[in-house]
Amino acid sequence: MKIEFLKNGVPALLLAPMEGVTDFPMRALLTELGGFQYCVSEFVRVTQEPVPEKVFYRLIPELRSGGRTASGIPIIVQLLGGDSQKIAESALTAVKCGALGIDLNFGCPAPTVNRHDGGAVLLKSPSRIFEIVSAVRRVVPANIPVSAKLRLGWERVEEIYQTSDAAIQGGVNWLTVHARTRSQGYAPPVHWNILKEIKKIAPVPIVANGDIKSLQDFKKCREVTGCEHFMLGRGALAEPALAQGIAFELGLGGTLKDQHFYYRMSQERWLPLFKRFVELAGPQAQSPFYTAKRIKQWLSLAGRCYSIDWAEPIKRASSLEEMWEVFCCEKKEVAL
Protein backbone atom coordinates (compact mmCIF):
# COMPACT_ATOMS: atom_id res chain seq x y z
CA MET A 1 0.00 0.00 0.00
CA LYS A 2 1.16 3.53 -0.61
CA ILE A 3 -0.06 6.99 0.21
CA GLU A 4 -0.63 10.14 -1.74
CA PHE A 5 2.16 12.66 -1.24
CA LEU A 6 1.09 16.11 -0.05
CA LYS A 7 0.75 18.35 -3.08
CA ASN A 8 0.31 22.06 -3.54
CA GLY A 9 -3.24 22.60 -4.76
CA VAL A 10 -4.59 19.65 -2.75
CA PRO A 11 -5.28 20.71 0.85
CA ALA A 12 -4.84 18.34 3.77
CA LEU A 13 -5.14 18.17 7.51
CA LEU A 14 -2.69 16.14 9.60
CA LEU A 15 -2.96 14.96 13.19
CA ALA A 16 0.13 16.11 15.10
CA PRO A 17 2.48 13.72 16.83
CA MET A 18 2.14 14.12 20.59
CA GLU A 19 4.37 11.87 22.61
CA GLY A 20 2.51 10.17 25.48
CA VAL A 21 -0.82 11.33 24.01
CA THR A 22 -1.45 10.34 20.39
CA ASP A 23 -0.74 6.65 20.83
CA PHE A 24 -2.63 3.78 19.21
CA PRO A 25 -6.05 4.28 20.89
CA MET A 26 -5.93 8.07 20.61
CA ARG A 27 -5.00 7.91 16.93
CA ALA A 28 -7.82 5.42 16.41
CA LEU A 29 -10.33 7.66 18.18
CA LEU A 30 -9.35 10.98 16.61
CA THR A 31 -9.19 9.58 13.09
CA GLU A 32 -12.50 7.76 13.60
CA LEU A 33 -14.12 11.10 14.41
CA GLY A 34 -13.05 12.30 10.96
CA GLY A 35 -11.39 15.28 9.32
CA PHE A 36 -7.78 14.06 9.16
CA GLN A 37 -6.08 12.75 6.01
CA TYR A 38 -2.84 11.69 7.71
CA CYS A 39 -1.50 11.20 11.18
CA VAL A 40 2.06 11.24 12.46
CA SER A 41 3.17 8.81 15.15
CA GLU A 42 4.67 9.91 18.44
CA PHE A 43 8.43 10.17 18.01
CA VAL A 44 10.42 6.96 18.05
CA ARG A 45 13.86 7.69 19.48
CA VAL A 46 16.93 6.42 17.69
CA THR A 47 19.68 6.13 20.31
CA GLN A 48 22.57 3.66 20.63
CA GLU A 49 21.32 1.20 18.02
CA PRO A 50 18.97 1.43 15.04
CA VAL A 51 15.39 0.79 16.12
CA PRO A 52 14.45 -2.91 15.74
CA GLU A 53 11.18 -4.14 14.21
CA LYS A 54 9.69 -5.19 17.53
CA VAL A 55 9.87 -1.61 18.84
CA PHE A 56 8.04 -0.26 15.80
CA TYR A 57 5.34 -2.91 16.15
CA ARG A 58 4.97 -2.21 19.86
CA LEU A 59 4.71 1.56 19.48
CA ILE A 60 2.74 1.57 16.24
CA PRO A 61 0.67 -1.62 16.18
CA GLU A 62 -1.17 -0.33 13.10
CA LEU A 63 1.95 -1.28 11.09
CA ARG A 64 0.74 -4.88 11.29
CA SER A 65 -2.41 -3.92 9.41
CA GLY A 66 -1.27 -1.81 6.49
CA GLY A 67 0.10 1.17 8.41
CA ARG A 68 -3.31 2.81 8.72
CA THR A 69 -5.67 3.44 11.60
CA ALA A 70 -8.86 1.37 11.65
CA SER A 71 -10.55 4.22 9.76
CA GLY A 72 -7.99 3.93 6.98
CA ILE A 73 -5.91 7.01 7.78
CA PRO A 74 -2.22 6.49 6.93
CA ILE A 75 0.34 6.82 9.71
CA ILE A 76 3.64 8.51 9.08
CA VAL A 77 6.32 7.19 11.43
CA GLN A 78 8.31 9.90 13.16
CA LEU A 79 11.96 9.32 14.05
CA LEU A 80 14.08 11.42 16.38
CA GLY A 81 17.84 11.35 16.82
CA GLY A 82 21.14 12.82 15.68
CA ASP A 83 22.98 9.94 13.99
CA SER A 84 22.15 9.98 10.29
CA GLN A 85 23.17 6.38 9.59
CA LYS A 86 21.24 4.92 12.51
CA ILE A 87 18.22 7.00 11.62
CA ALA A 88 18.42 5.90 7.99
CA GLU A 89 18.66 2.25 9.03
CA SER A 90 15.73 2.71 11.40
CA ALA A 91 13.69 4.38 8.65
CA LEU A 92 14.30 1.42 6.37
CA THR A 93 13.19 -0.98 9.11
CA ALA A 94 10.06 1.11 9.70
CA VAL A 95 9.23 0.90 6.00
CA LYS A 96 9.81 -2.86 5.99
CA CYS A 97 7.40 -3.06 8.93
CA GLY A 98 4.78 -1.21 6.88
CA ALA A 99 5.34 2.52 7.51
CA LEU A 100 3.70 4.54 4.72
CA GLY A 101 5.85 7.62 5.35
CA ILE A 102 8.76 8.82 7.47
CA ASP A 103 8.87 12.11 9.35
CA LEU A 104 12.02 13.46 11.01
CA ASN A 105 11.74 15.35 14.27
CA PHE A 106 13.79 18.55 14.48
CA GLY A 107 11.48 20.31 16.90
CA CYS A 108 11.27 18.52 20.24
CA PRO A 109 12.21 21.08 22.92
CA ALA A 110 12.63 18.64 25.84
CA PRO A 111 15.99 19.33 27.56
CA THR A 112 16.77 15.62 28.04
CA VAL A 113 16.13 14.91 24.38
CA ASN A 114 18.19 17.95 23.29
CA ARG A 115 21.09 17.00 25.61
CA HIS A 116 21.20 13.64 23.87
CA ASP A 117 21.53 15.19 20.42
CA GLY A 118 17.90 14.90 19.36
CA GLY A 119 14.97 17.14 18.41
CA ALA A 120 15.29 20.93 18.28
CA VAL A 121 19.03 20.94 19.08
CA LEU A 122 19.62 19.94 15.43
CA LEU A 123 18.23 23.33 14.41
CA LYS A 124 21.60 24.73 15.44
CA SER A 125 23.28 22.80 12.60
CA PRO A 126 21.54 23.04 9.23
CA SER A 127 24.28 20.86 7.72
CA ARG A 128 23.31 18.03 10.07
CA ILE A 129 19.66 18.40 9.10
CA PHE A 130 20.76 18.08 5.48
CA GLU A 131 22.86 15.02 6.33
CA ILE A 132 20.04 13.26 8.21
CA VAL A 133 17.35 14.01 5.64
CA SER A 134 19.52 12.98 2.70
CA ALA A 135 20.66 9.77 4.41
CA VAL A 136 17.02 8.82 5.00
CA ARG A 137 15.85 9.89 1.54
CA ARG A 138 18.62 7.77 -0.03
CA VAL A 139 17.49 4.52 1.61
CA VAL A 140 13.74 4.96 1.68
CA PRO A 141 11.96 3.86 -1.53
CA ALA A 142 10.84 6.74 -3.76
CA ASN A 143 7.14 5.93 -3.28
CA ILE A 144 7.43 6.58 0.48
CA PRO A 145 7.38 10.26 1.48
CA VAL A 146 10.03 11.66 3.77
CA SER A 147 9.11 14.84 5.65
CA ALA A 148 10.61 16.90 8.43
CA LYS A 149 9.03 18.74 11.33
CA LEU A 150 10.86 21.89 12.39
CA ARG A 151 10.43 24.72 14.81
CA LEU A 152 11.29 28.19 13.50
CA GLY A 153 14.66 28.13 15.18
CA TRP A 154 16.54 27.47 18.40
CA GLU A 155 16.58 31.15 19.43
CA ARG A 156 15.56 33.25 16.46
CA VAL A 157 12.70 32.86 14.01
CA GLU A 158 14.94 33.76 11.04
CA GLU A 159 16.86 30.50 11.49
CA ILE A 160 14.04 28.80 9.60
CA TYR A 161 15.35 30.11 6.27
CA GLN A 162 18.52 28.04 6.60
CA THR A 163 17.07 24.98 8.29
CA SER A 164 14.15 24.66 5.87
CA ASP A 165 16.56 25.04 2.96
CA ALA A 166 18.79 22.30 4.42
CA ALA A 167 15.80 19.95 4.73
CA ILE A 168 14.63 20.77 1.20
CA GLN A 169 18.11 20.24 -0.26
CA GLY A 170 18.22 16.95 1.65
CA GLY A 171 15.13 15.84 -0.27
CA VAL A 172 12.06 16.22 1.96
CA ASN A 173 8.74 15.86 0.21
CA TRP A 174 7.14 18.35 2.57
CA LEU A 175 7.92 20.36 5.67
CA THR A 176 5.86 20.89 8.79
CA VAL A 177 6.72 24.00 10.75
CA HIS A 178 5.62 24.65 14.31
CA ALA A 179 5.70 28.44 14.22
CA ARG A 180 7.69 28.97 17.41
CA THR A 181 11.32 28.81 18.42
CA ARG A 182 12.69 26.24 20.81
CA SER A 183 13.38 28.90 23.43
CA GLN A 184 9.72 29.90 23.36
CA GLY A 185 8.61 26.43 24.41
CA TYR A 186 4.86 26.74 24.05
CA ALA A 187 4.69 30.42 25.01
CA PRO A 188 3.08 33.02 22.75
CA PRO A 189 3.31 34.42 20.20
CA VAL A 190 2.97 31.93 17.39
CA HIS A 191 4.70 33.43 14.30
CA TRP A 192 2.39 32.39 11.46
CA ASN A 193 3.63 35.39 9.43
CA ILE A 194 7.05 33.74 8.93
CA LEU A 195 5.36 30.67 7.47
CA LYS A 196 3.98 32.90 4.74
CA GLU A 197 7.53 33.84 3.72
CA ILE A 198 8.74 30.24 3.79
CA LYS A 199 5.73 29.11 1.79
CA LYS A 200 6.54 31.67 -0.92
CA ILE A 201 10.06 30.34 -1.49
CA ALA A 202 9.78 26.63 -0.70
CA PRO A 203 9.37 24.26 -3.64
CA VAL A 204 7.61 21.72 -1.39
CA PRO A 205 4.31 21.94 0.53
CA ILE A 206 4.51 23.68 3.90
CA VAL A 207 2.31 22.34 6.68
CA ALA A 208 1.40 25.11 9.10
CA ASN A 209 1.35 24.12 12.75
CA GLY A 210 0.86 25.84 16.08
CA ASP A 211 -2.07 27.19 18.08
CA ILE A 212 -4.95 26.26 15.81
CA LYS A 213 -7.50 25.71 18.55
CA SER A 214 -10.73 26.88 16.93
CA LEU A 215 -12.22 27.41 13.48
CA GLN A 216 -11.46 31.11 13.87
CA ASP A 217 -7.78 30.32 14.55
CA PHE A 218 -7.73 28.08 11.51
CA LYS A 219 -9.18 30.77 9.25
CA LYS A 220 -6.71 33.33 10.57
CA CYS A 221 -3.78 30.93 10.13
CA ARG A 222 -4.83 30.16 6.56
CA GLU A 223 -5.20 33.84 5.79
CA VAL A 224 -1.86 34.83 7.33
CA THR A 225 0.24 31.93 6.02
CA GLY A 226 -1.44 31.25 2.68
CA CYS A 227 -0.91 27.56 3.46
CA GLU A 228 -3.20 24.75 2.29
CA HIS A 229 -1.82 22.11 4.63
CA PHE A 230 -2.31 22.21 8.38
CA MET A 231 -1.39 20.15 11.40
CA LEU A 232 -3.57 20.05 14.48
CA GLY A 233 -2.32 19.00 17.93
CA ARG A 234 -3.77 20.27 21.17
CA GLY A 235 -6.81 21.74 19.42
CA ALA A 236 -7.83 18.25 18.34
CA LEU A 237 -7.77 17.12 21.95
CA ALA A 238 -9.65 20.13 23.31
CA GLU A 239 -12.28 20.05 20.60
CA PRO A 240 -12.33 16.67 18.91
CA ALA A 241 -14.85 17.92 16.30
CA LEU A 242 -12.51 20.71 15.19
CA ALA A 243 -10.80 18.54 12.58
CA GLN A 244 -14.15 17.93 10.89
CA GLY A 245 -14.87 21.65 10.84
CA ILE A 246 -11.47 22.43 9.33
CA ALA A 247 -11.79 19.64 6.76
CA PHE A 248 -15.12 21.14 5.72
CA GLU A 249 -13.53 24.58 5.35
CA LEU A 250 -10.72 23.04 3.29
CA GLY A 251 -13.27 21.50 0.94
CA LEU A 252 -12.39 17.99 2.02
CA GLY A 253 -15.97 16.91 2.54
CA GLY A 254 -18.28 16.57 5.49
CA THR A 255 -20.73 19.15 6.64
CA LEU A 256 -20.74 21.93 9.17
CA LYS A 257 -23.97 20.82 10.76
CA ASP A 258 -23.94 22.95 13.81
CA GLN A 259 -21.71 25.99 14.09
CA HIS A 260 -21.80 26.15 17.84
CA PHE A 261 -20.79 22.48 18.01
CA TYR A 262 -17.28 23.70 17.25
CA TYR A 263 -16.97 25.38 20.54
CA ARG A 264 -16.33 24.38 24.11
CA MET A 265 -17.14 20.80 24.92
CA SER A 266 -19.87 20.09 27.45
CA GLN A 267 -19.47 17.35 30.01
CA GLU A 268 -22.10 15.27 28.26
CA ARG A 269 -20.17 15.34 25.01
CA TRP A 270 -16.97 14.17 26.69
CA LEU A 271 -18.40 11.04 28.28
CA PRO A 272 -18.99 9.00 25.08
CA LEU A 273 -15.53 10.02 23.86
CA PHE A 274 -13.88 8.80 27.04
CA LYS A 275 -15.84 5.56 26.91
CA ARG A 276 -14.83 5.02 23.30
CA PHE A 277 -11.21 5.72 24.21
CA VAL A 278 -11.36 3.02 26.91
CA GLU A 279 -12.92 0.63 24.42
CA LEU A 280 -10.25 1.31 21.81
CA ALA A 281 -7.44 1.06 24.38
CA GLY A 282 -8.91 -2.40 25.15
CA PRO A 283 -6.31 -5.11 25.07
CA GLN A 284 -3.54 -2.59 24.28
CA ALA A 285 -4.10 -0.71 27.53
CA GLN A 286 -1.44 -1.29 30.14
CA SER A 287 -4.10 -1.25 32.89
CA PRO A 288 -7.45 0.42 33.65
CA PHE A 289 -5.47 2.63 36.06
CA TYR A 290 -3.25 3.76 33.17
CA THR A 291 -6.31 4.42 30.98
CA ALA A 292 -7.85 6.55 33.77
CA LYS A 293 -4.60 8.48 33.97
CA ARG A 294 -4.73 9.09 30.23
CA ILE A 295 -8.25 10.50 30.48
CA LYS A 296 -7.10 12.89 33.21
CA GLN A 297 -4.15 13.93 31.05
CA TRP A 298 -6.53 14.55 28.15
CA LEU A 299 -8.75 16.73 30.32
CA SER A 300 -5.71 18.66 31.58
CA LEU A 301 -4.54 19.36 28.03
CA ALA A 302 -8.04 20.45 27.01
CA GLY A 303 -8.23 22.54 30.18
CA ARG A 304 -5.31 24.62 28.92
CA CYS A 305 -7.43 25.70 25.94
CA TYR A 306 -10.51 26.74 27.94
CA SER A 307 -11.69 26.40 31.47
CA ILE A 308 -13.41 23.12 32.33
CA ASP A 309 -15.07 23.74 35.64
CA TRP A 310 -16.21 20.13 36.20
CA ALA A 311 -12.79 18.55 35.70
CA GLU A 312 -11.55 18.55 39.31
CA PRO A 313 -13.65 15.64 40.68
CA ILE A 314 -12.73 13.61 37.59
CA LYS A 315 -9.05 14.29 38.17
CA ARG A 316 -9.43 13.10 41.77
CA ALA A 317 -11.08 9.80 40.75
CA SER A 318 -8.76 6.88 41.32
CA SER A 319 -10.34 4.44 38.85
CA LEU A 320 -12.42 4.39 35.70
CA GLU A 321 -15.46 3.31 37.73
CA GLU A 322 -15.10 6.29 40.01
CA MET A 323 -14.80 8.51 36.96
CA TRP A 324 -18.03 7.22 35.40
CA GLU A 325 -19.78 7.79 38.76
CA VAL A 326 -18.69 11.42 38.76
CA PHE A 327 -20.13 11.81 35.26
CA CYS A 328 -23.42 10.24 36.31
CA CYS A 329 -23.75 12.40 39.42
CA GLU A 330 -22.77 15.69 37.84
CA LYS A 331 -24.61 16.16 34.61
CA LYS A 332 -23.98 19.78 34.31
CA GLU A 333 -23.13 21.85 31.26
CA VAL A 334 -19.91 23.81 31.02
CA ALA A 335 -20.55 27.49 31.42
CA LEU A 336 -20.02 29.05 28.02
Ligand X SMILES: Cc1cc2nc3c(=O)[nH]c(=O)nc-3n(C[C@H](O)[C@H](O)[C@H](O)COP(=O)(O)O)c2cc1C
Binding site for ligand X (CB under 6 A): 16-21, 42-43, 78, 105, 107-108, 149, 178, 209-212, 232-235
Minimum distance, C-beta of residue 331 to ligand X, in the bound complex (Å) = 30
In the bound state with ligand X, the residue whose beta carbon lies nearer, of 121 and 327, is 121
Minimum distance, C-beta of residue 41 to ligand X, in the bound complex (Å) = 8
Are the C-beta atoms of residues 164 and 150 closer than 8 Å to each other?
yes
Query: What does the DSSP 8-state code read for residue 54?
Result: H
In the bound state with ligand X, the residue whose beta carbon lies nearer, of 192 and 270, is 192
Minimum distance, C-beta of residue 164 to ligand X, in the bound complex (Å) = 15
Phi-psi region of 128 (alpha: psi -120 to 50; beta: other; left: phi over 0): alpha
Minimum distance, C-beta of residue 76 to ligand X, in the bound complex (Å) = 11
Residue nearest to ligand X (CB): 233
In the bound state with ligand X, the residue whose beta carbon lies nearer, of 108 and 136, is 108
Minimum distance, C-beta of residue 236 to ligand X, in the bound complex (Å) = 7
Is 216 exposed, middle or buried, given 0-12, 13-18 or 19+ CB atoms closer than 10 A? Answer: exposed
CA distance 256 to 3: 27
> Which residue is catalytic, options 39, 97, 108, 221?
108
Strands (E), the chain: 12-15, 38-45, 75-80, 102-106, 146-153, 174-181, 206-209, 229-232
DSSP string covering 174-235: EEEEEEEETTTTTPSPP-HHHHHHHHHH-SS-EEEES---SHHHHHHHHHHH--SEEEESHH
In the bound state with ligand X, the residue whose beta carbon lies nearer, of 21 and 167, is 21
**108 belongs to the catalytic site:** yes
In the bound state with ligand X, the residue whose beta carbon lies nearer, of 178 and 191, is 178
CA distance 246 to 8: 17
Catalogue the active-site residues. Answer: 108
